[in-house]
Amino acid sequence: MVKRVVVIMAGLMLIALAGTAMAAEKVRLGLITPLSGSLAMGGEQARNGLTLALEKKGTLFGKEIELVIADAPDATKAKSNMERLYGTENLAIVFGGYGSSLEDAWQRVAMEQKKLCLGTVNWADKLTEHGNPYYFRYAATVSSLARELVNFLNFAGPEYLKKDPKTLQVIVVHSDQTSDVAKPAIDFLKNDGYANVDVQSYPSATSDFNSLLMKIRAARPDVLILYQYSADGLAFRRQMASMNFEPSLTIGGGLIYDQPEFAGLPKEVADGCMAVSYTNPAMSPAQAPGLTEFKEKYIQRYGHVPLTHALIAYAAGLAYLEAIERTGSLDVEAVRATLQTFEIKPGVGPAYWGCKFNEKGQNIMATPAVIAQWKQGVYTVVHPAELAVGTLELPLKPFSDRK
């Protein structure tokens, strides 16, 4: 009886030791992103996309991957939880999730700790202006998206509106919370010689836009460029429809205008409006190998269509994991050296984008953006041609003339 107990105990010890050894064989990486608070939706999209990327990769160096996730509902928690990931969890590499202001906080910890922060979805230009050698960003910047929006106007002006772009009457509208997002587009318009650019701003808590819209309508703009969040953007669009006011071209600079919430408007209100966005799950999969597989897997797992944030996090995760695999270890300086010379050509991954980091850690192949138009309540990519799934319809008709 005693021997049997000894044998059983010995067996249990061997199992425990084997389990410990298996745990030690895991490659541990981190993710910091808001999963509570006002930015939780975007944070969940980033987490979901990165999770699927790790599952797609399967292993690193032949070992199972463990993802340690930390919530960052605000800048204070972003800093303290990033310190915990690097310190208590002893991680060398942490992926950055959603929220530019939060990433500004947690990437500074990476610089202090001399550990890697691999940004996935955030767009604020300032994130790559700190001179942080331990920070890399896969996504496009606000400025690059603004550049693409103005490039589109340069194309659409003569092609669809039959006007020299420099003669177009353009009004840019933003709230006091989106002025930084709107500024690059305003600067590019002026630099490209647009002579008739007016800027209208308002307090973010505004809900009644009738007087502002009457002022804008009186100016008879050809183009209306909008930088708005959910509450103000949806109210603004509804009031445009109630006034039967639609310029020849209305386009949002991302934000609410490429989000599912916009589809919650009556389709006759949403339709026609356009948006510039990152590479997007709604684009043609012909130029983005793996996009269809990603969308199907995402819907199966999470029960809804992925947003741009999820696709970018997925594509970023696959790119970073390939770079780490090539390095052969999690050594910070070795991985950093790999990323500095790392390159993926455009058109070979699920986001279409390629990947090549400049001296600031910015992915300079995070282009082109996509231009989409709402059609029958569906976000439909219409430009550029190689990523389009529908035709561009311009100039826009007044709401009352639509069938």
The pLDDT value recorded for residue 287 is: 92
Shared domain for 221 and 256, answered yes or no, is yes
The pLDDT value recorded for residue 10 is: 41
Shared domain for 102 and 229, answered yes or no, is no
Shared domain for 135 and 150, answered yes or no, is no
Q: How far is CA 57 from CA 88, 120, 292, 321, 350, in A?
A: 26, 17, 17, 7, 14
- In this predicted structure, the answer to whether residue 18 has a pLDDT above a threshold of 50 is no
The pLDDT value recorded for residue 126 is: 96
The pLDDT value recorded for residue 341 is: 97
Shared domain for 307 and 383, answered yes or no, is no
Shared domain for 172 and 249, answered yes or no, is yes
Shared domain for 228 and 262, answered yes or no, is yes
Shared domain for 125 and 75, answered yes or no, is yes
- In this predicted structure, the answer to whether residue 24 has a pLDDT above a threshold of 60 is no
How many whole angstroms separate alpha carbon 329 and alpha carbon 326?
A: 8
- In this predicted structure, the answer to whether residue 152 has a pLDDT above a threshold of 80 is yes
- In this prediction, residue 25 has a pLDDT band, given cuts at 50, 70 and 90, of confident
Mean pLDDT for 169-184 is 97
Shared domain for 182 and 197, answered yes or no, is yes
Number of structural domains found in the chain: 2
Mean pLDDT for 260-272 is 92
pTM of the model: 0.91
Mean pLDDT for 191-215 is 97
pLDDT in tens, 27-80: 999 999 999 999 999 999 999 999 999 999 999 999 999 999 999 999 999 999
- In this prediction, residue 12 has a pLDDT band, given cuts at 50, 70 and 90, of very low
Can you give the CATH number for the domain in which 176 is found?
3.40.50.2300
pLDDT in tens, 219-249: 999 999 999 999 999 999 999 999 999 999 9
Task: Give the structural domain span for 255.
Answer: 143-277+369-401
The pLDDT value recorded for residue 402 is: 82
Percent of the chain clearing pLDDT 70 (strictly above): 94
Shared domain for 119 and 147, answered yes or no, is no
What is the amino acid identity at position 119? G
**3-class secondary structure, 351:** coil
Shared domain for 326 and 272, answered yes or no, is no
**3-class secondary structure, 57:** helix
**3-class secondary structure, 249:** strand
* Mean of per-residue pLDDT scores for the chain: 93
In-domain check, residue 55: yes
Shared domain for 123 and 213, answered yes or no, is no
Shared domain for 164 and 123, answered yes or no, is no
Peptide bond preceding 350 in cis form (omega within 30 of 0)? no
Strands 370-375, 274-277: pairing is antiparallel
Mean pLDDT for 169-198 is 97
